[in-house]
Chains A and B, each alone.
Chain A
Amino acid sequence: MNRYLLLPLAVVAAAVAAQTTGCGTPSVELGTVNGTVLIDGELVDSGTVTFSPVVEGPTASGRVRSDGSYALQVGQGDINNPDASRVPAGEYIVTVVVNAPSTETLGEGGPPLPGPRITAEKYASADTSDLKRTVEPGANVFAFELQRAEPAATEDQAPDGESPDGEGADEQPGEPEAAAGETEAGPEASSPEADPTEADATEAKEAEGNS
């Protein structure tokens, strides 16, 4: 009797197991996204990773932990298990900002200013970021190996092929951007709920484009 029972039982068990393997429900195409951020081969210990949908949908983001890992969530995500938060499958442009630890505080006892950005400028904006990833239903892992923001542009990064003769010149193309980055990074760093507004902004932009 054992022999006759075992096969059908195994088939049933396998079928049950198969149903529970997926992370997302098949009708809504969702996936979990986590991964790692490195600069020049070293794990970073802070920062923010943002996935902006290429077509439409919510923006997902996640903070980078001290071990260099991040996990994405949309809005509040899954409160009980943030790492299991799910993100719609699809194509995304990825922006990453990592700031050095803050060293100064505002005189009036305000919040500390963010430290200088240590990721290359291009990763900060969806318009300039060359990081694109496709989120598949199920579990996704994306590691990002980024270039450092160099105080003086290196040969590899000089955006306009400028000769290195301009060293020490004040009007380096990167400088005004770095200053602007302070305001840009401010709201992002202080409120994790910045995403919906960003999504709104994207939609607004699209609406403008259509009219």
Chain B
Amino acid sequence: MNRKHAHALLVGLLATPLVGCGGPFDARVKGQVSLDGQPLTVGTVTFAPASSGPSAFAKIDDSGNYELSVGRQRGLPSGQYTVTVVAREKTTVQRTDGGPPPPGKLITPPWYKSTNDSGLSFTVEPGSNSIDLDLNTTPPANWRGGRPGRR
């Protein structure tokens, strides 16, 4: 192999990971979720982009860990994100009339459902990120509490 080919090969190899349909995202995020210091072992973590781009989601596993994906692809574009967390109890009530089961009781405090109120904002850097989400049941100062008059 002469020098010319070596160059071509090198450039080609460098270019390869940047293209193709497989892994379009430059960052990965995983971490642990806790509520008042205890691991949260159910629920969904959502990373919503501050500007444009897709949202990334993850289910929280039985150990309280999560790892973000966009659709079927692991990872997400690096950038600024607002994070929401929603976890409900499993519904145990069985309805006999074939109607839909009622939603389970919310485990996570309601402000963590909203990008405006969750108070969770993170910058995702290119590469691997470890972002632990430490939730607590003390409402944030700006929380107006449950929006009176609804329901």
A residues near B (Cβ < 8 Å) are 1-2, 5-6, 9-10, 12-14, 16-17, 20-21, 23, 32, 34-36, 38, 40-43, 66-71, 83-84, 100, 103, 116-118, 139, 141-143, 148-151, 154-155, 175, 178-179, 182
Contacts and interface: CB of A to CB of B under 8 A. Distances in A.
Nearest to B42: A42
Given A6-B7, A100-B100, A116-B95, 11 more contacts: A17-B18, A40-B86, A66-B59, A68-B59, A71-B71, A71-B72, A116-B98, A117-B100, A141-B73, A143-B57, A148-B100
A204 B122 CA distance: 51
B57 A179 contact: no
A71 B100 CA distance: 26
Interface stretch (B8-16, B123-131, B139-147): B8-16
A5 B7 contact: yes
Interface of B: 3-4, 7-8, 11-12, 15-16, 18-21, 24, 43-44, 46, 54-55, 57-59, 69-73, 84, 86-88, 91, 94-95, 98-103, 113, 150-151
Contacts of B100: 100, 116-118, 148-151, 178
Chain A, interface SS category: mixed
B55 A43 contact: no
A66 B69 CA distance: 13
B12 A13 contact: yes
A25 to B, nearest CB: 13
Contact of A68 (B57, B86, B91, B95): B57
A181 to B, nearest CB: 9
A117 B78 CA distance: 37
Q: Which 10 pairs across A and B sit closest by C-beta, in order of nearness?
A: A41-B86, A34-B71, A13-B11, A149-B100, A17-B15, A34-B72, A23-B21, A35-B71, A141-B71, A42-B44
Contact of A143 (B43, B71, B150): B71
A83 B72 contact: yes
B68 to A, nearest CB: 11
Contacts of A83: 72
Contact of A179 (B3, B59, B73, B98): B98
A178 B69 CA distance: 33
A84 B73 CA distance: 11
A139 B101 contact: no
Contacts of A178: 98-100
B6 to A, nearest CB: 10
